[in-house]
Homo-oligomer: A and B are copies of this chain.
Amino acid sequence: MQGSPFQGFEFEAYMAMKAKKINKMLDEAIPLRHPLKLNEAMRYSLLAGGKRVRPILCIASCELVGGDESLAMPIACAIEMIHTASLIHDDLPCMDNDDLRRGKPTNHKVFGESTAFLAGDAFLSFAFEHIACNTNNVSPDRLVRIFAELSSVIGSKGLVAGQFVDIESEGKAVSLKELEYIHVHKTAKLLEACVVCGVIIGGGNDNDIEKVRIYARFIGLLFQVVDDILDVTKSSVELGKTAGKDLVSNKATYPKVMGIDEAKNFAYHLMNQVVQQLACFDTAKAAPLYHLAYCIANRQN
């Protein structure tokens, strides 16, 4: 980061402040109402910690184009709910069959398979309900655009398609093209929706949207490359989830396809591209987005 125009920004304080507000809103969004166990299961995974990268990306993008944090908050929370739904479902026995997530037992290990399953289903629709019922001072046509953007990144052209191809590819030889399809659909599209929805709700124009889309595509790839590298270089305790699992399951990863050194070079290249994308924005307003990318590139778990 030496010599970067984004030096000096108090990124850790910014993240902590945003995460605190997001956690408060997420806590209030799912009260302990009837049926109790279902809502407990939803709260267990939603409030399990995590860095809140996606909702912060959404809020930072709203602020990038001059919008207030409060405008983006319901959408930011909804995105975290969608992300949580995908984690709960991906961990289930009939999917990746994982026991650990964010250092804690996975949802179905605590609440049982059928409850975890339904908690995920509930989040997929509650996310939309949360936006529709809590967004104020935004024109309905911008809200409809957000519904279109968000719904398209989840289903059979988004998250679900990525998870499907990922599971189908287990135990098979996987080309780089297939590998990128999985990561674009499982990871990058939701990150893209974070920044695009943030800019839409913040009042940005089509040009702003296009710029953050490109930014998001680079950090989406970056996120997955780093995730794959960590899976082969770190222990389960360090990661807070089962390490080395991709290797054992013969799952497609960047280190497996291109080797660990080339995967690291690729991550470095992507970070340079991110810096170039943000060069045309106001430096102060773009600082959180730069630091988020830097944080993704350099995370240790």
Contact = CB atoms under 8 A, between A and B. Distances in A.
B129 A164 contact: no
Most chain B C-beta atoms within 10 Å of own C-beta, residue among A114, A119, A121, A133 = A121
By secondary structure, the A interface counts as helix
A256 B176 CA distance: 58
A89 B121 contact: yes
Most chain B C-beta atoms within 10 Å of own C-beta, residue among A30, A39, A119, A161 = A161
Contacts of A50: none
Contacts of A218: none
A38 B140 contact: no
Nearest to A160: B122
Nearest to A124: B124
B125 A164 contact: no
Nearest to A152: B129
A160 B38 contact: yes
A89 B278 CA distance: 43
Given A164-B35, A165-B35, A94 B114 contact: yes
B151 A125 contact: yes
Contact of A117 (B89, B118, B132): B89
Given A121-B155, A122-B156, A155-B129, A114 B37 contact: no
Contacts of A150: 128
Contacts of A113: 94
17 contacts: A35-B161, A37-B164, A38-B161, A39-B156, A89-B117, A94-B113, A94-B114, A118-B164, A121-B121, A122-B154, A122-B155, A124-B125, A129-B155, A131-B147, A132-B144, A139-B140, A147-B147
